[in-house]
Amino acid sequence: RLLIVDFGSQVTQLIARRLRELNVYCEIHPYQNVTAEFLRDFAPKAVILSGGPASVIDEGSPRPTADIFDLGVPILGICYGQQVMMQMLGGKVERGHGTAEFGRAYVTPARDRIDLLHGWFEADREQVWMSHGDHVSAIAPGFAVYGTSPNAPFAVTADLNRNFFAVQFHPEVHHTPNGARLYENFVRLAGFTGDWTMGAYRDEAIRKIREQVGDAKVICGLSGGVDSSVAAVLIHEAIGDQLTCVFVDHGLLRQGEAEEVVTMFRDHYNMPLIHADEQELFLGALDGQSDPETKRKIIGKLFIDVFQKHAGEVGGAEFLAQGTLYPDVIESVSFSGGPSVTIKSHHNVGGLPEKMGLKLVEPLRELFKDEVRELGRELGLPPSFIGRHPFPGPGLAIRCPGEITREKLEILRKADAVYIDQIRKHGLYDDIWQAFVAILPVRTVGVMGDGRTYDYACALRAVTSVDGMTADYYPFSHEFLGETATRIINEVTGINRVTYDITSKPPGTIEWE
């Protein structure tokens, strides 16, 4: 296994992600924990020293134990990791005076190509992402320069006798397009064959959950979405009935959704599940409200109250489980050029852990959405469930602009079910990021049979997207749209007009509210 020594960079997890993509098992440990004794136990086959915000020049700046350089295994230092390595091995680091570098830079080869750079420089130079104030001014004995950039003469250095490598840039980020190749070369020369799997990740995650939780009780908010479901199944595998799930039905779910969740988790997985049927409470509070923000606030606040009430029934729980993903963790980090993601989970109940005095269990914290899906498959969740489109916490409330009534919700559920059925029948579901119907707060005139109708109009929405931040409308054929409109009008009493929303995001949003 590979050890990543963390010096606090906001992108350290991305190193782990790159290594998982190469099917290499790694663990991230904060540098303070990596003692000589730890190293003996862990026995890493290779080590990566991460970046970090500190300056090696400052007194007391983070430093790995010197024993790390006596392990006799390949080491790769990145950014701060590079500087700390150079300083500890006898080189020199200086503060940047006009040499600080942030953002895109280009590295060119300095001499013969080493194995680490296999596949690099095919186009003479490689784009890399720099983010450093200090710079190495003299390399350590035994090292030579293999790549250089205008502001970082020592962009890539190596001591080939010891298999020590050091790079000034961040190969793990998206803006170093060929960075994955560098990691691949590093793990190959360290002897990893890439045989690690998501199955192994699952075992490791289960071990960690057991270690963290002991024999305490855990509660988990289950929304029926992929993240909370995978988290719940994983934790249940780890600690069995010490886990109780709370599923809040706020009356704003889609057709058959509540039954599906309850059947799957209670009957199929045999999990202790509290089904909090609070439809009356939510719909009552929303009665007469048409302002989008007010609607959201009402739902958010009630959700916390209700969750707290039902979670309290468990008695003596010490932990709250959440399906927080890595993108939620780095959301505010604009390192790679913009907010990384995306969808706020309504069930990441902010403030609740403190309020209830609960500690958090977040077993998906290191994973990205596609990895969570893979873990879900590994745990045996049905493929149809894992591939489900995202569904917002406030549910159908934000697909029902204006006042919410039970009648409108019922019509909306039926129309949505027909639309999704159409999409599935045409084999389009997996090509689409999200598809749904919004019921509009207008009635329009129509003729059906011999009579006039005065019924609701609805809008179909379907978008493609990679992260929900930007989106484009899905280019259905006219035939598909025509057939779907006919089915909805024939099968759903209360709708006599169907439109298709062809707004992209931006300027539109995916949801209607």
Candidate residues 346, 369, 373, 414; the one interacting with ligand XMP per rule CB under 6 A: 346
The answer to whether 474 and 462 are in contact (CB under 8 A) is yes
Beta strand 2-6 with 46-49 is: parallel
- Total count of residues recorded for the chain: 513
| Phi-psi category of residue 90: left, alpha or beta, with phi > 0 → left and psi -120 to 50 → alpha | left
Task: Count interface residues toward ligand XMP (CB under 6 A).
Answer: 15
Footprint on residues 122-151 left by ligand XMP (CB under 6 A):
none
Q: Tell me the torsion sign for CA atoms 250, 256, 259, 265.
A: negative
Tell the smallest beta-carbon distance from residue 186 to ligand XMP (Å): 36
Q: Taking Cα atoms as reference points, which of 430, 429, 401, 406 lies closest to residue 509?
A: 401
| Residue 226 lies near ligand XMP (rule: CB under 6 A) | no
Question: Annotated binding residue at 229?
Answer: yes
Question: Annotated binding residue at 98?
Answer: no
| H or E segment and range at residue 250 | none
| Residue 171 lies near ligand XMP (rule: CB under 6 A) | no
Instruction: Name the one range near ligand XMP by CB under 6 A: 113-121, 386-394, 411-419, 484-492.
Output: 386-394
The 10 Å CB-count burial string (b at 16+, else e) for 308-323 is: eebbeebeebbbbbbb
Candidate residues 91, 147, 393, 401; the one interacting with ligand XMP per rule CB under 6 A: 393
Using only the alpha carbons of the chain, give its radius of gyration: 27
| H or E segment and range at residue 296 | helix 292-312
Q: Is 170 a catalytic residue?
A: yes
**Pair of tokens at residue 44:** 């890493």
Whole-number Å distance between alpha carbons of 510 and 389: 12
Tell the smallest beta-carbon distance from residue 321 to ligand XMP (Å): 17
Cα torsion at 236, 240, 241, 247 (round to 10°)? 10
Whole-number Å distance between alpha carbons of 505 and 345: 20
Question: Annotated binding residue at 52?
Answer: no
The answer to whether 351 and 304 are in contact (CB under 8 A) is yes
Within 10 Å of residue 261's Cβ, how many Cβ atoms?
23
Tell the smallest beta-carbon distance from residue 463 to ligand XMP (Å): 8
Instruction: Name the one range near ligand XMP by CB under 6 A: 4-12, 91-99, 342-350, 452-460.
Output: 342-350
Instruction: Name the one range near ligand XMP by CB under 6 A: 100-108, 211-219, 410-418, 503-511.
Output: 503-511
Tell the smallest beta-carbon distance from residue 343 to ligand XMP (Å): 4
Q: Taking Cα atoms as reference points, which of 394, 381, 23 lies closest to residue 187?
A: 23
Q: Which is nearer to ligand XMP, 251 or 394 (CB)?
A: 394
Beta strand 359-361 with 317-321 is: parallel
Question: Annotated binding residue at 224?
Answer: yes
Instruction: Name the one range near ligand XMP by CB under 6 A: 173-181, 230-238, 286-294, 337-345.
Output: 337-345
Tell the smallest beta-carbon distance from residue 389 to ligand XMP (Å): 8
Whole-number Å distance between alpha carbons of 481 and 253: 25
Candidate residues 468, 473, 474, 495; the one interacting with ligand XMP per rule CB under 6 A: 468
Candidate residues 67, 366, 421, 511; the one interacting with ligand XMP per rule CB under 6 A: 511
Beta strand 2-6 with 26-30 is: parallel
**Pair of tokens at residue 210:** 């057991």
| Residue 301 lies near ligand XMP (rule: CB under 6 A) | no
Tell the smallest beta-carbon distance from residue 338 to ligand XMP (Å): 15
| Residue 68 lies near ligand XMP (rule: CB under 6 A) | no
Candidate residues 82, 168, 345, 496; the one interacting with ligand XMP per rule CB under 6 A: 345
**15 Cα distance to chain centroid:** 15
Tell the smallest beta-carbon distance from residue 486 to ligand XMP (Å): 27
Question: Annotated binding residue at 370?
Answer: no
Instruction: Name the one range near ligand XMP by CB under 6 A: 113-121, 181-189, 338-346, 485-493.
Output: 338-346
Q: Which is nearer to ligand XMP, 172 or 278 (CB)?
A: 278
Q: Give me the catalytic one of 172, 184, 278, 378.
A: 172
Instruction: Name the one range near ligand XMP by CB under 6 A: 22-30, 76-84, 325-333, 390-398.
Output: 390-398
Footprint on residues 427-456 left by ligand XMP (CB under 6 A):
434
Q: Give me the catalytic one of 170, 250, 275, 347.
A: 170
**436 Cα distance to chain centroid:** 23
Within 10 Å of residue 193's Cβ, how many Cβ atoms?
9
| Residue 302 lies near ligand XMP (rule: CB under 6 A) | no
Tell the smallest beta-carbon distance from residue 510 to ligand XMP (Å): 3
| Residue 392 lies near ligand XMP (rule: CB under 6 A) | yes
Q: Give me the catalytic one of 79, 220, 245, 458.
A: 79
| Residue 509 lies near ligand XMP (rule: CB under 6 A) | yes
The answer to whether 234 and 260 are in contact (CB under 8 A) is no
Q: Is 79 a catalytic residue?
A: yes
Whole-number Å distance between alpha carbons of 221 and 225: 11
Task: Show binding-site residues for ATP.
Answer: 223-229
Task: Show binding-site residues.
Answer: 223-229
Active site residues: 79, 170, 172
Residues that bind ligand XMP (CB under 6 A): 296, 343-346, 390, 392-394, 434, 468, 505, 509-511
